[in-house]
Structure 1
């Protein structure tokens, strides 16, 4: 976009990440989706929004669907146990592990925030 338009119209720039897209359309779609899904009634269960990636500063935990075994890999037994507190703890542990491995920058931020809450 022309810098003069940004300067004279007070348009806020939003970064989607450290990569280049082929045009503005994909970025517009991402921004629209990110906003619209927060409107009441768009997502079936609003509680899901609180558990999603980045809500707590962590990436999401792994998700599994049917069948129970696929390519010789089983769904973790704890997810089939029905013990909701254990499942919640597993999800938290996996979210932390995933964030630590894939996004060390987010992990460091998470640790700093956790430490500041304790102080």
Structure 2
């Protein structure tokens, strides 16, 4: 069974790792021990350390009304057509929203 390590010891090792500038793998190879154990100790050390991140500061904003559209803009002039060309709308089926099969069937009659 593995030896129980007291908190001061694993904190000391985790702090030594943080100060070393080495990767976890390099640190373990140089000092001995298991990589998974060091990872666990470093994880616990980082979780117990006070947060160094400054709290989020929210700023008040004021939303302004958008400018009024000109007649040309509201009529759709100057805007690129959708992918399907005139009349296609948002339908992925192409012009007038009918499938190619439906258009062929109506063309035959």
Please give the TM-score of this superposition, normalised by the length of structure 1.
Answer: 0.20
Higher helix share: 1
| TM superposition score normalised by structure 2 | 0.21
Looking at both structures, which has the greater relative contact order when contacts are Cα pairs under 8 Å and sequence separation is at least 6?
Answer: 1
Larger-gyration structure (1/2): 2
